[in-house]
Amino acid sequence: MGVKYILTYDPPHCVGCHVCEYICSLRHTGTSNPTRARLRIDDDEDTGDTRLRVCHRCKKPPCKTVCPEDAIARDQVTGVIEIDEEKCIGCGECVEACPFDAMFLDPHTELPITCDLCGGDPGCFKFCSTKAIVYKPIGTPTEQYYEKRLAWAFANPVIQASVYKEEEGYYKKPNETK
């Protein structure tokens, strides 16, 4: 079995542009309509913070458990939740059962939709200009993930021009000694 990946979210980096939703709906439906996106960004009414509502690919998915037509399956390799549109009756039980509010009813088809990681090439992650959405491996050492994020930071011209000034010694690059 290969390395599994997951979408995670870094709220302080999110500017609430919703580009991820537009990209998602465009990729899956050919329309730029965030109500048809398979992930959602919304604001917490109490704190004002943004949150990403995306499938967590549960080991024992409640959405699958409550489906009266057995129309929901979990891919054993990727963990992605798959919905058989032929079997689905659009009852919405799966939407109600999701503990992360990450399953939605498509307003046009009236069938459930959820993140499928775009077959391993998520557009939301690629088009997130602030890198608030992160597509990272799970089951691998955390250090590898942070090394990649640090490399991204060093390559980012905005960061290079800001507080991270090499000549002033604020940081050292990975695998470098002072």
Tokens for 12? 């302080």
Could you report the per-residue pLDDT of 138-159, keeping only the tens digit for each? 765 554 555 566 666 666 665 5
Q: What is the mean pLDDT of residues 18-36?
A: 96
Total of domains in the chain = 2
Looking at the structure, do residues 39 and 24 belong to the same domain, yes or no? yes
Q: Answer for the pair 103, 58: CB distance below 8 angstroms, yes or no.
A: no
CATH of the domain at 91: 3.30.70.20
Q: Tens of pLDDT along 40-84?
A: 999 877 877 888 999 988 888 999 999 999 999 998 888 899 999
Give the whole-angstrom CA distance, residue 103 versus residue 92.
9
What are the pLDDT digits (tens) for 1-24? Answer: 455 788 888 888 998 899 999 999
Q: How far is CA 60 from the centre of its chain?
A: 19
Regarding whether 91 and 146 lie in a shared domain, the answer is no
Same-domain check for residues 58 and 108: yes
Whether 150 and 129 map to the same domain: the answer is no
Instruction: Say yes or no: 65 and 151 in one domain.
Output: no
Measured at the CA of 58, the angle between CA 55 and CA 64, to 5 degrees, comes to 90
Q: CA-CA-CA-CA torsion for 144, 56, 18, 15, nearest 10 degrees? A: -50
**Structural domain that includes position 54:** 4-138
Same domain, 46 and 89: yes
Same domain, 133 and 150: no
DSSP state of 160: H
Answer yes or no: do 8 and 40 share one domain. yes
